[in-house]
Amino acid sequence: MEEKQHKRRVHYSGKYPKKFEEKYKEQNPEKYADTVAHVISKGSTPAGMHISIMVKEILEVLKIQPGEQGLDCTLGYGGHTRKMLEQLTNGGSQEGSAPGNSPGCIYGLDVDPIESAKTVERLRNAGFDENVFKFRLINFANIDKVAEEAGKFDFVLADLGVSSMQIDDPKRGFSYKIDGPLDLRLDPEHGESAAERLHNITRDEFVGMLVENSDEPYAEEIADKVFNLMKKGDPMDTTTALRHAIESALWKVPKEEKDQAIKKSCARVFQALRIDVNSEFEVLYSFLEKLPGILNPGARVAILTFHSGEDRLVKKAFKECKKAGLFSKISEDVIRPSAEECRINPRSKSTKMRWAIKA
Ligand SMILES: C[S@@+](CC[C@H](N)C(=O)[O-])C[C@H]1O[C@@H](n2cnc3c(N)ncnc32)[C@H](O)[C@@H]1O
């Protein structure tokens, strides 16, 4: 009889699990609260979780009162939604709150069918039923459609970009640091993946995308490399293939600067592709245009952005609305997370918040 060779169970190397699939404890925060607290105390985001940014500052701006109707345009892990729901159902923010008859309700939106399903379940398990929390799988570019159904809103939050769960999941292809399919779609069930997009555009369009979306200084070199490789039949369909192409495109950079230059270019190229694949500027523009029309008088809005292109659009839209008399007040300057928050959660470092109040 043929003897079966004993196969050793594969162990992760090192003291702590490194791969996303190995981090089963971090993916169960309710069950393994200690592990999760330990990971957070080390300045990392636990796998499958998102640490909400500037929660205190957002709640101060939104001044939630009982009976109000709110909108969280970017549900994500639901951290902000949950804090807002707690305020709504616990008598509102302290300033001038009085318990009303109806607790009010919050609509949560997201385009990601995978993570939003888990978040909705988590919020339901935490006791927030359909009366106080309603989820809609819809792009925030369509807030007018949501308002047609729900009526106008008293407070609105938009926390733009991607969640840590999306970044950390290799199957989603958001990170150049993890091997996976070059996808980068917030909604992987619709539209073109980043790999398909690269096959459907020209070299010059790719250069334009890298410059316009991310100010990539090596746009020409990277586009040449990527398109030459694809012409030779090399598939550009994984995060690793694209990272390798970027690494070899930067061959001219002096040795002592190379590692940093490659890291920065990888981050910018992936950001540019993500913005393009998800039409992020177009949807933000559409959202900002429709925003004043879905607000009740006196409604408060807070928007968190993560790169200068986004912040420029928000700043311009808020200023124009103020000038047109649609907003009574807007933040004079951007508000940034505290040094302590940046230390605890390094992913918050690039965050800028702006707020506005409907006239
Ligand atoms: C930074 S995360 C939000 C995290 C959330 N505030 C929390 O505390 O967990 C951004 C979320 O917005 C979603 N998103 C991004 N663009 C969107 C859009 N145009 N419409 C709807 N959802 C969007 C992403 O899928 C992601 O889940």
Ligand 1 pocket, residue 159 CB under 6 Å: yes
What's the mean per-residue pLDDT of the chain?
90
Q: What is the pLDDT of residues 86-140, one digit of tens each?
A: 999 886 665 444 445 677 999 999 999 999 999 999 999 999 999 999 999 999 9
Which among 256, 277, 298 is the end of a domain? Answer: 277
Residue 259 has pLDDT above 50, yes or no: yes
- Pair 288, 343 in one domain: yes
* Confidence (pLDDT) at 359: 98
* Confidence (pLDDT) at 297: 98
Ligand 1 pocket, residue 309 CB under 6 Å: no
For ligand 1, what atom is nearest to the CA of residue 287? 19
* In a domain? residue 350: yes
Ligand 1 pocket, residue 119 CB under 6 Å: no
pLDDT greater at residue 13 or residue 302 = 302
Ligand 1 pocket, residue 112 CB under 6 Å: yes
Q: What is the pLDDT of residues 185-210, one digit of tens each?
A: 999 999 999 999 999 999 999 999 99
- Pair 253, 325 in one domain: no
Ramachandran angles phi, psi of 56, nearest 5°: -60, -45
Q: How far is the CA of 193 from the centre of ligand 1 (A)?
A: 18
Proportion of the chain above pLDDT 90, given as a percent: 81
Q: What is the pLDDT of residues 27-70, one digit of tens each?
A: 666 666 676 666 666 666 776 788 999 999 999 999 999 999 99
* Confidence (pLDDT) at 24: 53
Which among 277, 312, 340 is the end of a domain? Answer: 277
- Pair 260, 127 in one domain: no
- Pair 63, 159 in one domain: yes
- Pair 242, 291 in one domain: no
Which among 236, 259, 277 is the end of a domain? Answer: 277
Alpha-carbon distance of 167 to 173, in angstroms, equals: 8
- Pair 97, 112 in one domain: yes
* Beta-strand relationship, 352-358 and 105-110: unpaired
Structural domain of 135: 55-165+281-358
* Confidence (pLDDT) at 25: 57
Residue 343 has pLDDT above 80, yes or no: yes
Ligand 1 pocket, residue 283 CB under 6 Å: yes
* In a domain? residue 33: no
Q: How far is the CA of 295 from the centre of ligand 1 (A)?
A: 20
* In a domain? residue 232: yes
* pTM for this prediction: 0.87
How would residue 243 be classed by pLDDT, with cut points 50, 70 and 90?
very high
* In a domain? residue 173: no
Q: How far is the CA of 224 from the centre of ligand 1 (A)?
A: 33
Residue 260 has pLDDT above 60, yes or no: yes
Structure-block tokens of residue 212: 């316009």
* In a domain? residue 198: yes
- Pair 273, 285 in one domain: no
How would residue 11 be classed by pLDDT, with cut points 50, 70 and 90?
very low
Ligand 1 pocket, residue 50 CB under 6 Å: yes
Return the ∠ at Cα 214 (arms to 339 and 310), rounded to 5°. 60
Q: Whose CA is nearest to atom 24 of ligand 1?
A: 162
Q: What is the CATH number of the domain that holds 246?
A: 1.10.150
* In a domain? residue 336: yes
Q: How many domains does the structure of the chain reveal?
A: 2
* Confidence (pLDDT) at 49: 85
* Confidence (pLDDT) at 195: 98
- Pair 291, 244 in one domain: no
Q: What is the CATH number of the domain that holds 341?
A: 3.40.50.150
* In a domain? residue 48: no
Q: Whose CA is nearest to atom 5 of ligand 1?
A: 76
- Pair 291, 341 in one domain: yes
For ligand 1, what atom is nearest to the CA of residue 74? 12
